[in-house]
Amino acid sequence: MFRARSIQSSLSLKDKILSIDYVLVISIFILGLLSILAMYSTDGGEFKYHTNSHILRFFVFFGMFFVVSFIQIRFWHSQSYLIYILFFILLLGVKYFGLTSSGSKRWLDLYFMNLQPSELMKIGLILFLAKYYHRVSIENINQIRYLFLPVVVLISPIILVATQPDLGTSLLIAAGGITVAWLAGVRVKFFAISGFAFLALLPIAISFLKPYQKSRILTFLNPERDPLGAGYQIIQSKIAIGSGGLFGKGFLQGSQSYLDYLPEKHTDFIFTLFSEEFGFFGSLFILLLYALIVWRIVKIGNVTRSNFGKLYCYSFATAFFIYVVVNMMMVLGLLPIVGSPLPIMSYGGSSMMAIMLGLGIAMSCKIYKDTPVN
Partner 1 sequence: MLNPSSGNTVIKSKLIGRRMFLLSAAKAVVMVGIIGRLVTLQINERSKYKTLSDKNRFREWKLAPERGVIKDFFDKEIASNEQVYQVHLIPENSKDIEKLFVRLKTILNLTDNRLVYLKRVIAKQKPWEPIIVSDNITWSEFSRLNLFLHELEGVKPVVSVARMYPDNSSAHILGYVSQASVKDLETKKYLKDLHVPGMSVGKTGLERKLDEKIIGKIGFQRYEVNAFGKRVKQIQINEGQAGESYKTTLDFEVQKYTNELLKDKAAAVCVMDVYNGDIVSMVSSPGFEPNEFVHGLDKKYWNDLIKNELRPLTNKTISGLYPPGSTIKTLVALSALENGVIKPLDTFRCKGKIELYGEKFHCWEKDGHGIVNLRKGIQRSCDVYFYEVARKLGVDRLSETAKKFGLGKKVLNGFIEERAGVVPNTKWKKKFIGQNWYLGETLHSGIGQGYFQSTPLQLCLMTAQIANGGFEIKPRIIFDEKNNRLRDYIKYKNENPNDPLPTDLLLSNFELKPLFKNQEHINLIKDAMFSSSNEPGGTSYRHRWENKKFTFAGKTGSSQIKRFTEAQREAEVKQESLPYKDRDHALFVAFAPYNNPQYAISVLVEHGGSGGKAAAPIAKKVIKKVLERHELRKKINSLIGESV
* Cβ atoms 55, 33 nearer than 8 A: no
241 binds partner 1 (CB under 8 A): yes
DSSP state of 98: P
Binding of partner 1 at residue 195 (CB under 8 A)?
Answer: no
Query: What is the amino acid identity at position 7?
Result: I
Binding flag, residue 259, partner 1 (CB under 8 A): yes
Binding flag, residue 192, partner 1 (CB under 8 A): no
Q: Which of 112, 106, 111, 110 is nearest to 94 (CA)?
A: 106
How far apart (Å, rounded) are the C-alpha atoms in residues 35 and 32? 5
Per CB under 8 A, contacts with partner 1 among 260-279 are 260-261, 275, 279
Q: Which of 27, 179, 267, 371 binds partner 1 (CB under 8 A)?
A: 179
Measured from the CB atom, the residue of 63 and 372 that comes closer to partner 1 is 372
* Nearer CB in complex with partner 1: 169/236: 236
Minimum distance from CB of 38 to partner 1 (Å)? 17
Bridge partners, residue 109, by sequence: 114
The residue (of 70 and 316) whose beta carbon lies closer to partner 1 is 316
Listed residue (325, 318, 249, 246) closest to 287, CA to CA: 325
Q: Does 246 help bind partner 1 (rule: CB under 8 A)?
A: yes
- Listed as own residue / partner, the contacts of 82-88 with beta carbons closer than 8 Å and 24 or more positions apart are 83/123, 83/124, 83/127, 83/128, 84/124, 84/125, 84/127, 84/128, 84/153, 86/124, 87/117, 87/120, 87/121, 87/123, 87/124, 87/157, 88/121, 88/124, 88/156, 88/157, 88/160
Among 283, 340, 351, 364, binds partner 1 (CB under 8 A): 283
Sign of CA dihedral 214, 218, 219, 221: positive
Q: Which is nearer to partner 1, 135 or 210 (CB)?
A: 135
Q: How far apart are CA 122 and CA 168, in angstroms?
A: 12
Distance from chain centroid for Cα 67: 20
Q: Does 318 bind partner 1 (CB under 8 A)?
A: yes
Among positions 71, 147, 184, 356, the unique one binding partner 1 when judged by CB under 8 A: 184
Contacting partner 1 within 56-115 (CB under 8 A): none
153 binds partner 1 per the rule CB under 8 A: no
DSSP letter at 164?
A: T
Count, residues near partner 1 per rule CB under 8 A: 47
Nearer to partner 1, 251 or 280 (CB): 280
Going across the sheet that includes 114-115, the strands are 99-101, 104-109, 114-115
The burial class, CB within 10 Å (0-12 / 13-18 / 19+), for 91 is buried
With CB under 8 A as the contact rule, the residue among 97, 100, 334, 370 that binds partner 1 is 334
Residue 137 interacting with partner 1 (CB under 8 A) = yes
Binding of partner 1 by 224 (CB under 8 A): no
By CB under 8 A, residue 310 contacts partner 1: yes
Task: Give the nearest distance from C-beta 238 to partner 1 in angstroms.
Answer: 6
Nearest residue to 168 (alpha-carbon basis) of 122, 232, 199: 122
| 229 touching partner 1, by CB under 8 A | no
* 332 in contact with partner 1 (CB under 8 A): yes
Question: Nearer to partner 1 by C-beta: 93 or 245?
Answer: 245
- Binding-site ranges for partner 1 (CB under 8 A): 135-138, 140, 179, 182-185, 236, 238-246, 255-256, 259-261, 275, 279-280, 283-284, 287, 291, 294, 298, 301-302, 307, 310-311, 314, 318, 321, 325, 328-329, 332, 334
